[in-house]
Chains A and B, each alone.
Chain A
Amino acid sequence: MCGVCGCGKGETRLEMGEQAQGHTAHDHRHHDHEHDHGHTHHDHAHVHHDHDHDHSHHDHSHPAPAGDVHSLRDDPSRRAHLVSVEQDILGKNNALAAHNRRHFNSHGVLALNLVSSPGAGKTSLLVASLQRLLPGTTVAVIEGDQETSADADRIRATGAPAIQVNTGRGCHLDAAMIDEAFHRLHVQDGILFIENVGNLVCPAGFDLGEAHKVVIASVTEGEDKPLKYPNMFAASSLMLVSKVDLLPHLDFDVDLLIANARRVNPSIAVIKVSATTGEGIDRWLKWIGAARDMAVASA
């Protein structure tokens, strides 16, 4: 079961096949099991099955004469035993993310996962960036949002192709959603921007297969954001300090924000930007260019 832990190369497909069969296959088995459990031969099979797995010591100590099946069933504690599993709970997502990463690499696509609190300025920044990148650069956008498609509409107005993924009650994008969306977008030799759901907690654990997470922290938030949500800042390669056009009107210490970010991630890069005035957008696009060159060199 290496596909589950994400370590196997080329096994992701298999994993997806299994997923496609879905829970019904599992549930079925579960049901059969329940219906069968009174049969003597089944309990025998059960013991034998455990025997194959090295975890059978308990079962060995309980002889199961034909007439004793009921007492075994009525006293389940006599058969309870520990089985060792040792699997990453995020293993399936990680395996799909690895699949996405290979897919992006083979398509010459640099994927960036933009994360922030709600309203930090992700969509505005994307719009400002796309206006400069188009038409010279191939770009596409996957918009994650819990309910609406308003952000995707704002992106499409720039002329860039965009797919909206509504996560419903889900508070983050996962690798399977990106896999599906990317197959529909079909980008080649370009940049894929993924705007994650506005949330600094949940998206931290879900690798999408991106080359980099980019965290956006606006100057209208607290300087202690990186300490309150350390995992997101730790997982990001770059912090964009957004809405810096507002700084003259605010009592906000940008250096303190940067120091806090570096407390949780000593190597995080920082660029100050404003979608409104365009300040810093060129530096951000240069950072993207460098990341593309690196991705191409290592692909």
Chain B
Amino acid sequence: MHEIALCNSLVDLIRDQQRQRGFRRVRRVIVEVGVLGHVDPHALDFAFDVEARNSPAEGAVLEIREIQGRAWCMDCSRLVTIARRGEACPDCGGFGLIVEQGEELRLKELEVI
């Protein structure tokens, strides 16, 4: 459950934002999560509700936007889409893939009042 630690960092970032921008509360937290990364969206959602208590984001909705996995196929010399790690290139069936996108874990936007 490293999602607890991740939500801790997320709430820290939100406090930084509050300090810089001076909003009162956060109503919606929009994060981008790559489908090839190490984060379980359900665990993240659960952990967020707990970690956001007594913070400006208490009670806020966590909106998770998935980012699809893209990898460079060394055999086809082009970018292909994969749903998870360990999946073959959809074109050549090979595993010579270098992941280029899909590991993101980013606080994108806040809806604040």
A binding-site residues for B, Cβ under 8 Å = 1, 4, 23, 26, 29-30, 33, 37, 45-46, 49-50, 53, 55, 76-77, 79-93, 169-172, 174, 201-206, 226-227, 230-231, 234, 260, 262-264, 266
Known: A49-B22, A205-B38, A227-B86. A82 touches B105 (CB 8 A): no
Q: Output the nearest chain B residue to A172 by Cβ-Cβ distance.
A: B2
**A201 vs B2: C-alpha distance in the bound complex, in angstroms?**
8
**A170: chain B residues within 8 A (beta carbon):** 5
**In the bound complex, do residue B13 and residue A83 qualify as a contact, i.e. CB atoms below 8 Å apart?**
no
Chain B interface size band reads 35 or more
Collect the chain A residues with CB atoms within 8 Å of residue B111's CB.
80-82
Q: How far is the CA of A266 from the CA of B95 in the complex (A)?
A: 7
- Identify the B interface with A (CB < 8 A): 1-2, 4-6, 9-10, 12-13, 15-25, 27, 31, 36-39, 55-56, 74, 84-86, 88, 95-99, 105-113
10 contacts between A and B (CB under 8 A): A30-B15, A81-B112, A81-B113, A85-B17, A85-B107, A86-B107, A92-B9, A174-B5, A201-B38, A230-B84
Q: Which residues of B sit under 8 angstroms from A46, Cβ to Cβ?
A: 22-24
**Which residues of the partner chain B approach A85 to less than 8 Å between Cβ atoms?**
13, 17, 107-110
Known contacts A30-B18, A33-B24: A87-B107 contact under CB 8 Å: yes
Report A-chain residues with C-beta under 8 Å of the C-beta of B31: 89
**Are B2 and A83 neighbours in the complex by a CB distance under 8 Å?**
no
Q: Which residue of A lies closest to B31 (CB)?
A: A89
In whole Å, how far is B47's beta carbon from the nearest beta carbon of chain A? 12
Closest 4 CB pairs of A and B: A230-B85, A202-B2, A76-B113, A26-B15
Number of A-B contacts (CB under 8 A): 132
In whole Å, how far is B4's beta carbon from the nearest beta carbon of chain A? 8
Cβ-defined contact, B5 with A172, below 8 A: yes
**Cα–Cα distance between A231 and B31 once the two chains are bound (Å):** 20
A263 adjacent to B95 (CB under 8 Å) = yes
Q: Are A86 and B85 within 8 A (Cβ)? A: no
Chain A residue contacts of B2, Cβ below 8 A: 171-172, 201-203, 205-206
- The chain B residue with its CB closest to the CB of A232 is B38
Q: How far is the CA of A204 from the CA of B10 in the complex (A)?
A: 18
> For B5, what are the chain A residues with a Cβ–Cβ distance below 8 Å?
170, 172, 174, 202, 206
With beta carbons under 8 angstroms apart, the residue of A82, A206, A264 that contacts B85 is A264
Contact residue among B74, B84, B86 (Cβ-Cβ distance under 8 Å from A260):
B86
State whether A23 and B15 are in contact (beta carbons under 8 Å apart), knowing that A79-B113, A80-B113, A85-B109 are contacts in the complex: yes
10 additional contacts (CB under 8 A) given A30-B55, A82-B112, A264-B86: A23-B15, A83-B112, A85-B108, A87-B106, A91-B9, A172-B2, A201-B2, A201-B38, A205-B38, A264-B85
